[in-house]
Amino acid sequence: MSRRSIDQILEGKPYKKLLSSEKLQQSEIDLVNTDPKKTQYYGRIVLDNCGRINPEEIEEYIGTGGYQALGMALKEKKPEDIIKIVKDSGLKGRGGAGFPTGLKWSFAAQEKESPKYVICNADEGEPGTFKDRLIMEGDPHKILEGMAICAYAIGANIGYIYIRGEYQLSIQRLEKAIKEAEKLGLLGKNIFDTDFDFEVKIKIGAGSYVCGEETALLNSMEGFRGEPRLKPPFPAKSGFLSKPTNLNNVETLANIPPIILNGAEWFRKFGTEDSPGTKVYSILGHINRPGLIEVPMGITLREIIYDYAGGMSSGEFKMAQIGGTAGGILPIELLDVPLDYLSLQIEGHNLGSGAILIMNETVPVVDFLECCMKFFVHESCGRCSICRIGTKQMYESFKYLREKEANYDELKKIEELAEALKLVAFCPLGQSVASPVLSALKYFRAELSKEIDSNEDYETITREMSDIVFDYS
Amino acid sequence: MTIKEIVDKYGSKRENLLQILHGIQNQNPRNYINKESISALSKEMNIPVSQIKGTASFYSMFSFIPRGKYVIRVCESPPCHLLGAESIFKAIEYKLGIMIGETTKDGLFTLEGTSCLGICGVAPAMMINEDVHGNLNEEKIFQILDQIQEQEKERIQLCREEALTRF
Amino acid sequence: MINITMNNMKIESEEGTTILDAAKKARIKIPTLCYLKNVQEPGSCRMCVVEIEGVRTLQPSCITHVSEGMKIYTNTKEVRDARKIILELLLSDHPWECNTCDRNQDCELQKLAEEYGIKEVRFKSINEELPLDESTPGIVRDPSKCILCRRCVTVCQEIQEVGTLSPRARGFDTIIAPGQADLLSEAVCVQCGQCAAVCPVGAIIEKDDIDKVWEAIDNPDKFVIVQTAPAIRAALGECFDLEPGTLVKGRMTTALRMLGFDGVFDTNFAADLTILEEGTELLTRLKKAIVDEDKSVALPMFTSCSPGWINYMEHFYPELIPNVSTCKSPQQMFGAVAKTYFAEKVGKKKEDIVVVSIMPCTAKKFECNREEMTDSGVKDVDYVLTTRELGKFIKQAGIDFVNIPDEEMDAPLGISTGAADIFANTGGVMEAALRTAYEIVTGRELPFDKLHVVPIQGLDGVKEASLKIEGTKEEWEFLEGVTVNVAVAHGLGNAKKIIEEIKFGKKHYHFIEIMTCPGGCIGGGGQPRMTTDEIRKARIQAIYKEDEGREYRKSHDNPALKVLYEEFLGKPLGERSHHLLHTKYFNKKDENV
């Protein structure tokens, strides 16, 4: 890497100040909401460059201060300083579980064994979620920079990005980004003239939702069936190829360069005390402006729908599913609950991946849940018995309900099954099946009961008779 | 490329298995992984065939039966479902005369249902091979399919003309 | 030692034990389905979940380790409800054919359903009827009954390392399937039957040949004789709830006679015969190699009595064909002798003699159907029943097995030595061979305590021993001072290890014993379920006891064999032996698809 470019990046002197959003390939699926009034609210951290720079030109990323954080980290900070900054920032994993990122890094940093690996989890499969894709397509270098900083902090020299096979454009852009970064010496040997080496490789998935679970992802990366592993050992101790491994979601890693550059204090100015920073939501459903927004943690569902999404596109608000198909269903009563990790936890929900699906009164709860269950049947890995058969029976139950052929005790059965799934399923997939079901039973029980009442045979079905099949032929 | 060349390209270690399987499937004109490739791969990588098939069949992008030149994958997940994925299926079924999992007689199209494609902002959505199509409705689907069919007709015509010149 | 509380009882437990083991010690039973000690602990059936204070979800006890101060509850409402729901779910995906199932009253799922008081299954049946796979001679698969515990996959992939069975597809569509095909016959399967031995339900069983044997016995024109493998006598009792390791040779003989067999004989007779042939073959090879310096002689020599190993070798290491002893297995030697020498003796046509084998093994069903196993002119062995099938057979005939008296086997094919007994367990064939070969060469008894070669005993996967030969007889002088290196492996995974080491020149042996199943035949795929390491040890102990109580303990001392050679065979490796008792192998690598 040339002296000139090192100095330029470190001193914040860009190659060329160029904001060529006109050069950005505006495919119809690039849906970053560009309404400045709303999306620039407090400024954006993660999506800052998306739609503003040409993601295929590394100079443009550098022009906005890119790789400055990496240079600063390598030149001025020790690995433990980096971990401390990330810890202090209060950043929590944006993949769904919300585990403190700094703490996670410290686990991997403690391990003595080598090599260590940094893995970027880009297997975004949660229905309704497309934030990671947009980040990868719109600002691939930010992820690479985040990964490099992470690698420096935990003592790794190899990084992998595991991308789902459907994200062809992301794959192409990241491949290009890696090549360009290598060309400038921002990846590879002796980065910024230090003795830090770091290379990044891409692994492509092949269509499996459960591979977003970190241990399933590791199995998939190693060329096995993407079934979750037993924990412990945790990946920080024994991950990819049984070596210490740190896995972070795309959005989490994209938060890293700004945090290192601006400090933990700066980051804490956004969001709430418990959940600092911003969150990228993908909002969709019956709203006027579906797309991505980046807003501070803690804003309410009402604000999202009526301020950012331009209100309902048709009908009245009925319910919203937060966090993708594995998330809970919120009724109108919860429109004003702040969306952050803690507040939602209190209500028994989870922020999950940040997908917010808004539904109007035309959507029958039973129909929606049947579709959710169909998804889980399709995506359950089949390893543990309760998830393998439980999801299928759950799907069948909702089908009976929708077809008005349900038994009088169908809801009780569903509830018991959901509780059991939550308590005993092997991995988060099985456990999260309960979220939409139990929340729907909590808030929409009356509507679901009606499905049973409308079973025409209901009057004649008694407990004793329900199992007998009459053959009139 | 032969199986050996594909394996050499990605490396014969187990962790490259998915990439190799992608490579094998992508170069097959019928978009699938056949029995012979699995046997050859097993010998090349020293992994039992049962494990290769067991691993590959875990992932929904791999197929073991011949598919069409164009694989249409329509999203079935809740966001697309809400916005009318059902009618998308119906439109394609009507237009091409195939149901989910089937391939048209001319070997051009295969229709598949899939989980979320991550393009929910433009739901309902589908992928045809690697191309993404969003904000679908009946009319748009007919248009897309017509275009491909037209393209294929032209290609066949060109082939014929070229063949004629060689006589 | 650490302190934990289980169901409010204070107990002490060793660090590093699982909750399941700690509970067992405290006399609390936690149900399991997928768990199988020393085989797999995947924690995936979720039957063994327990509540731990302070933990949000229920934890599988088979893989969760105890820690200081841990408070565990094994029977709370949550735990009971969860187990019931799991059982209901499993039953909703299981055909309700219990009465006609091979595993009726011997099924782990059925038993748990009873124990947990499942009176109704509230879920509708979603069981899909999948075709029955009867494509191979030894094993029958019924995928509809499979509960996907994956024990079979673990034994096939990780213990035997044959790699036939693997989970395929995912989620509710997951099945356990062979190779990349739907039928076992289209995949490489060595028929060892370890999968059938660990299956908790009726999804993998041996092919039932009891009716064919009934038919033969019922036919007055047929002279039906039976041979019993050495491993049966130490395990059959378990079919009748006797303690593992109970020797039932006498009762077994009585029962077989009561069943109507016209002659009750012993595979042990043929095991002694094998030793004479194989021992001579080894010495001949050594002679050729050392005296004649013949480079074409293949050493080390491998044993050939385990048909699963033969299948494995033909498919995966056909380059070893010259190294494997040409001796047929004792079962097939018995069949060939019975339909020639014995037929002549009793004045029967070979076509009218039916040879039934009782074997601890499913691969023997395959072996007796091999085309080349017809050297008598007809099929040498007609039917093979596993130990489990014999148990059922005896029950069908209404014989009170536990309380019948002991009887002796018939002469001459029922006469054998202790060396034949130990064919049943790992290390046994080697020890038997050494007892004879050493004495042939030196004229003296093997210089070991009670004749046992201690280094090759026990359950280590690969064992080795060296034996220095001194004071040879004149004709064997070339072996004076030679150290013979031998090795023993059981379980095909261990066989693979040893072969790879030889291939890479890391180890040099003269003679290697391979047994397909862990523990040897006493742990065979046709033995009573479940075979744990404790049970293996008990059966082995019983076998050694049987050996030590014998009048003759070396194969060459078998008086009936001496007569056989005098009257019929001539000498070991002689022309008639060669024709009847030896075989050849085939390269089947091309069939691996």
| Residue in chain C nearest A420 by alpha carbon | C82
**Residue B21: what residue type?**
L
| Catalytic residue from among C51, C206, C278, C314 | C278
Please state, in angstroms and rounded to a whole number, the distance separating the CA atoms of residues C139 and C165.
13
Mean pLDDT of C165-186: 96
Give Cα separations from A189 to A106, A114, A158, A344, C92 (angstroms).
Answer: 24, 17, 11, 44, 58
Amino acid present at A466: S
**Residue C308: predicted pLDDT:** 97
Please tell me the distance in Å from A465's CA to the nearest CA on chain B: 36
**Does position A338 have pLDDT exceeding 90, yes or no?**
no
Report the pLDDT value the prediction gives residue A43, as an integer from 0 to 100: 61
- Give dist(CA A370, CA A366) in Å, integer: 6
Active site annotation includes C156: no
Residues A111-164 have pLDDT tens digits of: 999 999 999 999 999 999 999 999 999 999 999 999 999 999 999 999 999 999
Percentage of chain A lying above the pLDDT 70 cut: 87
* Per-residue pLDDT band at A10 (split at 50, 70, 90): low
Residue type, C347: G
The nearest CA of chain A is from the CA of B54 a distance in Å of: 7
Contact B35 C187 (CB under 8 A): no
Establish whether C361 is a catalytic residue: no
CA–CA separation, C235 and C252 (whole Å): 11
Spell out the CATH class of C281-327+419-526+550-591. Answer: alpha beta
Spell out the domain ranges in chain A: 10-18+35-268, 278-360, 365-456
Residue A32 pLDDT: 43
Per-residue pLDDT at C574 exceeds 70: yes
For the ranges A289-293, A311-315, A420-424, C389-393, which has the lowest average pLDDT?
A289-293
**Secondary structure E strands in C229-352:** 263-266, 301-302
What span, in angstroms and rounded, lies between the C-alpha atoms of A63 and A16? 6
- CB of B101 within 8 Å of any CB in chain C? no
d(CA C243, CA C245): 6
Q: Catalytic pick from C249, C339, C364, C463?
A: C364
Pick the CATH number of B70-166 from 3.40.30.10, 3.40.710.10, 2.60.40.1220, 1.10.443.10: 3.40.30.10
Contact assignment for C166 to B53 by CB distance below 8 Å: yes
CB-based contact B14 A282, cutoff 8 Å: no
How many angstroms separate the CA atoms of C399 and C144, rounded? 33
Q: Which pLDDT score is estimated for A188?
A: 95
Distance in angstroms (rounded) separating the CA atoms of residues A322 and A344: 10
C2-75 classified as CATH 3.40.50.720: no
Q: Is the peptide bond before A115 cis (omega within 30 degrees of 0)?
A: yes
- Whether residue C114 lies in the annotated active site: no
Asked if C532 has any chain B CB less than 8 Å from its own CB, the reply is no
Nearest residue to C527 (alpha-carbon basis) of C171, C245, C332, C224 = C245
Listed residue (C417, B144, B22) closest to A165, CA to CA: B22
Confidence bin at A3 (pLDDT 50/70/90): low
Q: How far off is chain C from A229, nearest CA to CA, in Å?
A: 9
Architecture of the CATH domain A10-18+35-268: 3-Layer(aba) Sandwich (3.40)
Compute the nearest-CA separation of A159 from chain B (Å). Answer: 14
Q: Which candidate in C319, C372, C477, C566 is catalytic?
A: C372
How far apart (Å, rounded) are the C-alpha atoms in residues C459 and C43? 26
CB contact under 8 A, B54 and C167: yes
Exactly one of C239, C305, C361, C517 is catalytic; name it.
Answer: C305
Token pair listed for A151: 């690698």
Contact assessment for residue A103 and residue A253, using Cβ atoms and an 8 Å cutoff: no
Say how far apart CA C366 and CA C278 lie, in whole Å: 22
* pLDDT given at position A409: 87
B50 vs C163, C169, C170: nearest CB: C163
Q: What is the pLDDT of residue A44?
A: 81
Asked if omega into A338 is within 30° of 0 (cis), the reply is no
Residue A473: its pLDDT value, please?
44
* Interchain CB distance below 8 Å, C85 and A377: no
Q: Which residues of A touch C46 (CB under 8 A)?
A: 384-386, 424-426
Q: Which residues of B touch A220 (CB under 8 A)?
A: 18
Residues 6+ away with beta carbon under 8 Å from B90: none
* C364 assigned to active site: yes
C146 in active site: no
**Of A300-304, B17-21, C301-305, which gets the smallest average pLDDT?**
A300-304
How far apart CA C165 and CA C155 sit, in angstroms, is 9
pLDDT single digits (tens) A354-363: 899 999 999 9
Q: How far is A126 from chain B (nearest CA, A)?
A: 7
Of C521, C554, C555, C577, which residue is the catalytic one? C521
Tokens of B159: 């082939």
Given a contact cutoff of 8 angstroms between Cβ atoms, the answer to whether B74 and B116 are in contact is: no
- Whether C367 is catalytic is yes
- Give the gap in angstroms from C-alpha B51 to the nearest C-alpha of chain A: 8
Q: Do C90 and A388 touch (CB under 8 A)?
A: no
Domain boundaries, chain B: 3-56, 70-166
Distance from C-alpha of A95 to C-alpha of A272, rounded to nearest angstrom: 18
CATH number for the domain running over C210-269+331-403: 3.40.50.1780
CATH annotation of A365-456: 1.20.1440.230
Q: Quick one: angle between helices B3-10 and B17-27, nearest 10?
A: 140
Token pair for B105:
């007689």
What dotted CATH number matches A278-360?
Answer: 3.10.20.600
Q: With contact defined as beta carbons under 8 Å apart, do C2 and C12 qualify?
A: yes
Q: Does residue A462 register a pLDDT over 80? A: no
Rounded to 5 degrees, φ, ψ at C466 are: -125, 145
Catalytic annotation on C521? Answer: yes
Q: Which of C48-62, C67-81, C347-361, C450-464 has the lowest mean pLDDT?
A: C450-464
Residue B80, CB-side half-sphere exposure with 13 Å CA sphere: 33
Judging by DSSP bridges, how do beta strands A199-204 and A158-163 pair with one another?
Answer: parallel
Q: Indicate the residue of B55, B60, B61 with minimum beta-carbon distance to A225.
A: B55
Q: Does C187 touch chain B (CB under 8 A)?
A: yes
Question: Does the CB of A403 have a partner CB in chain C at under 8 Å?
Answer: no
Q: What is the mean pLDDT of residues C458-486?
A: 92
Model pLDDT, residue A36: 40
Cβ-defined contact of C172 to A392 (cutoff 8 Å) = yes
Please calculate the CA angle B160-B161-B166 and round it to the nearest 5 degrees.
95
- For A110, other C-beta atoms within 10 Å of its C-beta total 12
**Pair of tokens at residue C369:** 């159907």
Q: Which residue has the tokens 């297997």?
A: A123
* Identity of the residue numbered C123: F
Give the nearest partner residue to A129 out of B18, B55, B118, using CB atoms: B118
> CA-to-CA distance for C31 and C52, rounded, in angstroms?
17
What pLDDT shows up at residue A271?
85
Question: What's the pLDDT tens digit per position in C55-78?
Answer: 999 999 999 999 999 999 999 999
Helical spans, DSSP H, in B28-137: 35-45, 49-56, 78-82, 85-96
Asked if the Cβ–Cβ distance from C46 to A396 is below 8 Å, we say no
* Nearest Cα residue to C437 out of C469, C464, C477, C390: C469
The one-letter amino acid code at C243 reads E
Chain B, 39 to 68: residues with Cβ < 8 Å from chain C are 39, 42-43, 48-54, 57-58
CB A134 within 8 A of CB A251: no
Least confident of A1-5, C75-79, C139-143: A1-5
Asked if A423 lies within 8 A of C57 by C-beta distance, the reply is yes
| Between C593 and B102, residue with greater pLDDT | B102
Whether C555 is a known active-site residue: answer: no
| Cβ atoms < 10 Å from Cβ of C115 | 12
Nearest CA of chain C to the CA of B55: how many Å? 7
Q: What mean pLDDT, rounded, does chain C reach?
A: 95
Please, which residues have CB within 8 angstroms of residue A114's CB and are 6 or more apart in sequence? A155, A243, A244
Q: Is A314 on the interface with C (CB under 8 A)?
A: no
CA-wise closest residue to C354 among C323, C383, C395:
C383
Distances (CA, A) of A459 to A452, A456, A466, C448: 11, 7, 11, 83
Least confident of A344-348, B29-33, C401-405: A344-348
| Per-residue pLDDT band at A7 (split at 50, 70, 90) | low
Decide if C157 and B35 are in contact by the 8 Å CB cutoff.
no
User: Three-class SS of residue C549?
Assistant: coil
Residues A225, C167: C-beta atoms closer than 8 Å: yes
Nearest to B22 among A206, A241, A355 (CB): A206
Q: Which residue of C141, C152, C165, C166 to mutate against B (max B Cβ within 10 Å)?
A: C166
C-alpha closest to that of A57 among A86, A87, A89, A21: A21
- Sign of the C-alpha dihedral, residues A66, A68, A69, A75? positive
- Does C170 contact B at CB distance below 8 Å? yes
Distance CA A421, CA A429 (A): 10
B50–C179: do the CB atoms touch at under 8 Å? yes
Cβ separation A416–C81 shorter than 8 A: yes
C184 in reach of chain B (CB within 8 A): no
d(CA C563, CA B58): 62
Q: What angle do CA C556, C560, C561 make, to 5 degrees?
A: 45
Distance in angstroms (rounded) separating the CA atoms of residues C236 and C244 = 9
Domain made up of C91-206: CATH architecture: 2-Layer Sandwich (3.30)
Evaluate the omega torsion of the peptide bond into residue C220 and state whether it is cis, within 30 degrees of 0: no
Cα of B127 to nearest chain A Cα, Å: 9
What is the per-residue pLDDT for A4? 54
Other Cβ atoms closer than 10 A to B4: 13
String of DSSP letters for C18-72 = BHHHHHHHTT-----SS-BTTTB----S-TTEEEETT-SS-EETTTPBP-TT-EE
CA A152/CA A257 separation, integer angstroms: 13
Q: Residue B9: list chain A partners with CB under 8 A.
A: none
* Contact yes or no for A241/B15 (Cβ under 8 A): yes
CB distance A59 to A15 below 8 Å: yes
A neighbour chains, 3+ CB pairs within 8 Å: B, C
What pLDDT score does A296 carry?
Answer: 84
Q: Is residue A17 predicted with pLDDT exceeding 80? A: no
- From C206, C367, C513, C546, active-site residue: C367
How far apart are alpha carbons C117 and C111 in whole angstroms? 10
* E strand residue ranges, A326-458: 329-331, 355-360
Give the residue with greater pLDDT, C248 vs A25. Answer: C248
Q: Do A241 and B55 touch (CB under 8 A)?
A: no
Average pLDDT on C285-308 reads 92
User: Which tokens go with C464?
Assistant: 């080795």
Residues 228-257 of A with CB under 8 A from C: 230
Q: Strand, helix or coil at C356?
A: strand
The beta-strand segments (E) located in C433-575 are 462-468, 483-490, 511-515
pLDDT tens-digit series, residues C430-448: 999 999 999 999 999 988 8
Mean predicted confidence (pLDDT) in B115-141:
92
Cα–Cα distances in angstroms (integers) from residue C355 to residues C139, C203, C229, C380, in the given order = 21, 29, 13, 7
What is the C-alpha to C-alpha distance for residues C432 and C424, in angstroms, rounded to an integer?
11
- A284–B15 CB contact, under 8 Å: no
Chain A partners of B77 at a C-beta cutoff of 8 Å? Answer: 127-128, 325, 371, 375
